Structure 1
Amino acid sequence: MTSSSNRVVYWGTGRRKTAVARVRVVPGSGSVTINGRPGDNYLNYNPVYLAAVKAPLQTLGLEGQYDLLVNVRGGGLTGQADAIKQGAARALCDLSPDNRKPLKVEGHLSRDPRAKERRKYGLKKARKAPQFSKR
């Protein structure tokens, strides 16, 4: 938590696949700004991604009371949306210790360990083998 000019800011970092999001939660009207753009614009108006980003606030019933200011890089939109979700949840835990339990029950605080599997030699991709010819 940092306080700049009497404005309380809560920070959280989220990760998913190769995406890393730094999320600031500030008192406001419920707007989401991602990399300087409106959240719905950045996420291509996809309702699944928008719901994922706002899920921690909805779990606590705080939508419309806090703004999310996000810097995110790496990965695609799916990884970025889930990274933002985790970062927002971590920031909301700093807001009040009572917020931790409902966020944990909903799974917003856990890091999804799934990542791209490495490519093996002799194969075209992680598991795709070259075409087999019997003769």
Structure 2
Amino acid sequence: MSVQYFEGVGRRKESTARVRVMSGSGSIVVNEKPIEDFFTRLGDKEMIESVLNVLGDESRKFDVTVKVMGGGVTGQTGAVVLGLARALVKYDNTLTPLLRKGGFLTRDPRVKERKKPGLKRARKAPTYTKR
């Protein structure tokens, strides 16, 4: 028996998240762990759940499974948020204005700037010495 699900892919910095939304009891599982065990930093779990809070009481009827890889904690959180929003749009296209207004459907384009020759980092120059 196959389960009907809706999938969305989110990316942020070096992270990629594949998010699947299906009908269920309201559990969120990230890399086969409960969300509380995977995202332990203050605010990360709330940021992900804020996407579901846009739906109101309907958010309790979804099970969310996430496969996230690459990057750090901040990038992974942003990738999951975008993937979850895209999966919800595939589930119900009428949610697009709500999610767009909340800023959940916009991919954050900021990435690490490359190092330039002659500099220590992307913009930091070596210390100037007169003598």
Report the TM range for the smaller structure's normalisation: over 0.9
Aligned residue number for residue 50 of structure 2: 55
Aligned residue number for residue 38 of structure 1: 34
The residue type equivalent to 1:55 in the other structure is S
CA contact (8 A) 1:12 1:24 kept: yes
Aligned residues, how many? 130
Deviations 1:89-118 (A, max 9, x none): 001001111111100111101100100000
The residue type equivalent to 2:39 in the other structure is L
The correspondence of residues 27-106 of structure 1 with structure 2, limited to 5 A, is 27-44=23-40, 46-61=41-56, 62-106=58-102
How far, CA to CA, are the matches of 1:67 and 1:42 in structure 2?
Answer: 16
Percent identical residues: 42
For the aligned residue pairs, the C-alpha RMSD in angstroms reads 1.2
How far, CA to CA, are the matches of 1:8 and 1:80 in structure 2?
Answer: 25
Give structure 1 stretches of 5+ with no counterpart: none
The residue type equivalent to 1:76 in the other structure is G
Give structure 2 stretches of 5+ with no counterpart: none
TM-score normalised by structure 2 residue count: 0.94
Aligned residue number for residue 7 of structure 2: 11
Aligned residue number for residue 124 of structure 1: 120
How far, CA to CA, are the matches of 2:95 and 2:51 in structure 1?
Answer: 10
Q: Secondary structure at the match of 2:101?
A: helix
How far, CA to CA, are the matches of 2:122 and 2:2 in structure 1?
Answer: 52
How far, CA to CA, are the matches of 2:69 and 2:96 in structure 1?
Answer: 26
Aligned residue number for residue 115 of structure 1: 111
CA contact (8 A) 1:54 1:63 kept: no
How far, CA to CA, are the matches of 1:51 and 1:134 in structure 2?
Answer: 52
